[in-house]
A and B are shown apart, each in its own frame.
Chain A
Amino acid sequence: MIGEISIRHLLMHEYIGTEMSLPKMTRLPSVRLLSSIHQHHQMLPPSVTLLTAPRRAVSQGEYRRPGKPKEDRFPWQPINFSFSKGVQGIKKHFTLLKKEFSERWVGPEGKPVLEHMLEQNRVMWEFRGPESLDQWTVSSDHEIGGQSEAYLKLGKNNNTCFLYGTLSSTPPKDGETRYSGYCTMRSKRPQASFDRKKHYDWSSFNTLHLRVRGDGRPWMINIGAETYFSHQKDDIYNYFLYTRGGPYWQDVQIPFSKFFLTNRGRVQDDQHPLWLDKVNSIGFTLGDKADGPFQLEIDFIAVSKDYAHTEEFAYELYKKNPDV
């Protein structure tokens, strides 16, 4: 829609920059992304200096985004048909299947009923070994041709995850992207046996609890939930994570009622609270306009039930832009 507030600019209001375009990144694992700003540009009349892109021959095929590597292999070539990989796959899937069957005898989600109903805190992600890093995907604006870099590694003592890199807000020279300079880390969607999609059920919790150590930069937490309609594909619920910086760990508690709805980076007019029964992924994005190195250390991510927090939703639910 024309004229919606972009979440990157919301952070901007408090801090200096937020060219954060990309909630979409936290939802889709695929490499190809269109920033919301980018899409917005397609409606823009060209600014004064017109750069005509050189026309491509039809034989070259589809438009290739600047950051995407050239693919000159046939589509079946990248697939790895090896026996050992097949055996590993079978082992993995059947153990998962066996676990699913045996867990049902214990109780819902593999825990006894009382524990499932009454538990107040649950640690969702803690980084205690290299396999915990496999659950996370890191991406940056390198995919659209920008110059930011982001890397993920285990922190010292193998106890924390360390996301670091450099941001650069020079936009890629593809003639349509205006803002750039972001990076993100998002969790992969939980999977049941045979790569079936699963989701997290956090309906008995109401607060997100993090232990982080940042460098003073403002981050944004993105939660992607399960949606039904196709236009809700890029719906992500966001909230800010302001780091203090310094050598001390910072405990952050964010109730889920504070998360506001955005689609492709644009804050929506019709807000509704995040439904916790089918949460798919969580992500962290950095997009303040400050060029330079960044680092964020995360100790653990947990959800908890705060009995003192009774707010259902922090934003107004009535229709804010009545029809013309």
Chain B
Amino acid sequence: MKSARCLLQLQCLTLVGQSTRSAAQYGALLRAASSRRVFRHFHSGPARPKEQPIPAEFVNGDDKKRDRSLVAHDDLFERVAREVKTKATFNKVVDVFIKNDVRRRGHVEFIYAALKKMPEFGVERDLVVYNRLLDVFPKEVFVPRNFIQRMFNHYPRQQECGVQLLEQMENYGIMPNMETKVLLVQIFGEKGHPMRKFQRIMYWFPKFKHVNPFPVPKHLPEDPVDLARFSLTRIANDRDAKVTVHQLPCTDVTESGEQITLPHVVGIQSPSQVELLAKHNPNRPLFVEGPFPLWLRSKCVYYYVLRADPTPPEEKVEEPFDPERCLDYPLQLDLDLDRDLGDEESFDVEDLDEGPVFAMCMTGLGEQAVLNQWISGLQEDNPILGQVPTLFRLDAGPRELQGATDTESFHHHGPEPEYQKEERQPQEEPEVTLEEEPRTSQRMKR
């Protein structure tokens, strides 16, 4: 019976599985396995080592299996579902199945059911669990022994099941390890479909692992301030940008006993943005727009932007480059060289000027009062904010960045149809006088 050999190999595997794997060990294991093939006892019974007693709650399931009645393997999982679903209970279920029958009757359905139930137990990203599940397959039974068996898709259902297991691993982005390879070789041989799939995973995954120029860590920070810090540095696109936490989240209890939760306010601004803001014309308003979505893996966070409309061409001032700003190389070259057709490196596209962005922020609560706090925090570095009218264009849902022409109404004037910016200027004048007071509310409430 092959069962003795299978069990011996299983024990061997568990022993080896604890240490780090190497190609030499893997080779040695296989050689050991093949050498054992000589000692096949046809009629000997399975030599089972002393096993742990099966926990009482699963005894009924065992009885059912011995009755050989048709029972879906979901039952085992459903019985466990009444308890807390953890990795330990999942492993227990797999153990019960393994110990129940050395021939592993119905292992294909069991593995499919297990794969389906994995997300509920929270183990879908755990390689160890996948290896245990792969361990459920009986070893060496499905390995083709001659060219005819290799040609004709030996044990197609089991091969498909193995492929689906690997496919779920691929789905969750889990890299298989040496133990997976050894298991696959022992179960399906080196030329089966699961092995091919494993080879493909091992070829393509490492190639594309670091292909993202803006990588997001697998475990995002839980703390909202840290998360805001990470995402703001990501979108700032400037290494000199400085993150300032204007307010930490805290819960206050006022005298009347009410609980007030203060949301976090984290802002970012780079020195070039500070310069741009300093050069901004105080007569032109600034806009606080948002919330805009930013996706980090499967989590969406929202950020707000302080920007201005692009300066019209008549107001653009060409500032000469200060030659002392960079002493390593000249910033401006006045050469009279013509570029040939083949040396033209810029694209024939008109440049989009959407106006400068002066700062970004992320808060826990996107309300005007909270954003006011951000603006007041910014004012320490940018005194011009005290003189410039700041208008809030907050939308309930995520939107695109506004352009030069205002086609959307904003809270400021209530819901009005689109109109040009020039028309709005005279209407803004009364607000300008009101808002020139040092700070705080930059706009009138409706």
Residue of A nearest to B166 (CB): A3
Q: Which chain B residues lie closer than 8 Å to A215 at the CB level?
A: 292-295, 398
Complex contact B205–A3 (CB within 8 A)? no
Partner of B199 from A14, A295, A300, A321 at Cβ < 8 Å: A321
Complex contact B112–A47 (CB within 8 A)? yes
> Is B247 close to A, CB under 8 A?
no
Complex contact A118–B340 (CB within 8 A)? yes
A228 to B: closest C-beta gap in Å:
26
> Is A121 close to B, CB under 8 A?
yes
Q: Interface code A10-23, partner B: CB below 8 Å = 1, 0 otherwise?
A: 10111111010000
Partner of A217 from B73, B157, B295 at Cβ < 8 Å: B295
Q: Among residues 197 to 223 in chain B, which have CB atoms less than 8 Å away from a CB atom of chain A?
A: 197, 199-201, 203-205, 207-209, 211-216
Q: Which chain B residues lie closer than 8 Å to A5 at the CB level?
A: 170, 197, 200-201, 204
A143 to B: closest C-beta gap in Å:
22
Q: Decide: A16 near B200, CB < 8 A? Known: A121-B347, A218-B212.
A: no
Q: Which chain A residues lie closer than 8 Å to B200 at the CB level?
A: 3-5, 267, 269
Complex contact B405–A121 (CB within 8 A)? no
> Is B236 close to A, CB under 8 A?
yes
Partner of B294 from A43, A45, A216, A321 at Cβ < 8 Å: A216
> Is B6 close to A, CB under 8 A?
no
Complex contact B352–A49 (CB within 8 A)? no
> Is B67 close to A, CB under 8 A?
no
Query: A257 CA to B142 CA in the complex, in Å?
Result: 40
Complex contact B342–A118 (CB within 8 A)? yes
Q: Which chain B residues lie closer than 8 Å to A247 at the CB level?
A: 235, 292, 305, 307, 357, 360, 401
A200 to B: closest C-beta gap in Å:
17
Q: Interface code B317-353, partner A: CB below 8 Å = 1, 0 otherwise?
A: 0000000000000000000000011111111110010
Complex contact A156–B401 (CB within 8 A)? yes
Complex contact A4–B197 (CB within 8 A)? yes
Q: Which chain B residues lie closer than 8 Å to A118 at the CB level?
A: 340-342
Residue of A nearest to B218 (CB): A16
> Is B191 close to A, CB under 8 A?
yes
Complex contact B349–A9 (CB within 8 A)? no
Query: A10 CA to B201 CA in the complex, in Å?
Result: 9
Query: A289 CA to B296 CA in the complex, in Å?
Result: 12
Q: Interface code B283-297, partner A: CB below 8 Å = 1, 0 otherwise?
A: 000000000111111
A218 to B: closest C-beta gap in Å:
7
Query: A122 CA to B298 CA in the complex, in Å?
Result: 36
B202 to A: closest C-beta gap in Å:
10
B222 to A: closest C-beta gap in Å:
17
Complex contact A157–B235 (CB within 8 A)? no
Complex contact B344–A121 (CB within 8 A)? yes
A206 to B: closest C-beta gap in Å:
14
Residue of B nearest to A314 (CB): B207
Q: Among residues 396 to 446 in chain B, which have CB atoms less than 8 Å away from a CB atom of chain A?
A: 397-398, 400-405, 407
Q: Which chain B residues lie closer than 8 Å to A320 at the CB level?
A: 199, 203
> Is B164 close to A, CB under 8 A?
yes
Q: Which of A75-83, A101-109, A238-246 contacts B (4 or more CB under 8 A)?
A: A238-246
A319 to B: closest C-beta gap in Å:
12
> Is B193 close to A, CB under 8 A?
yes
Residue of A nearest to B342 (CB): A118
Partner of A3 from B197, B203, B234 at Cβ < 8 Å: B197
B209 to A: closest C-beta gap in Å:
7
Query: A121 CA to B213 CA in the complex, in Å?
Result: 24
> Is A270 close to B, CB under 8 A?
no
Query: A246 CA to B112 CA in the complex, in Å?
Result: 42
B146 to A: closest C-beta gap in Å:
12
Partner of A293 from B194, B215, B293, B343 at Cβ < 8 Å: B293
Q: Among residues 265 to 305 in chain A, which have CB atoms less than 8 Å away from a CB atom of chain B?
A: 267, 269, 288-290, 292-295, 297, 299-300, 302, 304
Query: A315 CA to B297 CA in the complex, in Å?
Result: 27
> Is B7 close to A, CB under 8 A?
no
Q: Which chain A residues lie closer than 8 Å to B342 at the CB level?
A: 118-120
B171 to A: closest C-beta gap in Å:
5
> Which are the 7 A-B pairs with shortest beta-carbon distances?
A246-B235, A156-B403, A3-B197, A157-B403, A13-B173, A118-B342, A290-B298
Which A residues form the contact surface with B (CB < 8 A)?
A: 2-6, 9-10, 12-17, 19, 43-45, 47-49, 114-115, 118-121, 123, 126, 155-157, 159-160, 162, 164, 179, 209, 213, 215-218, 240, 242-249, 267, 269, 288-290, 292-295, 297, 299-300, 302, 304, 315, 320-321, 324
User: Could you list 12 further interchain pairs (A-B, Cβ under 8 angstroms) beyond the known A44-B160, A119-B341?
Assistant: A155-B403, A157-B404, A215-B292, A216-B214, A216-B216, A240-B211, A242-B213, A244-B213, A244-B214, A249-B352, A292-B293, A302-B347
Listed by A's residue number, 11 A-B pairs whose Cβ atoms lie within 8 Å are A3-B193, A5-B197, A49-B74, A120-B345, A156-B407, A215-B292, A244-B234, A245-B294, A269-B200, A293-B300, A324-B191
Which B residues form the contact surface with A (CB < 8 A)?
A: 72-74, 108-109, 112-113, 116, 150-151, 157, 159-161, 163-164, 166-167, 170-173, 175, 191, 193-194, 196-197, 199-201, 203-205, 207-209, 211-216, 231, 234-237, 292-300, 303, 305, 307, 340-349, 352, 354, 357, 360, 397-398, 400-405, 407
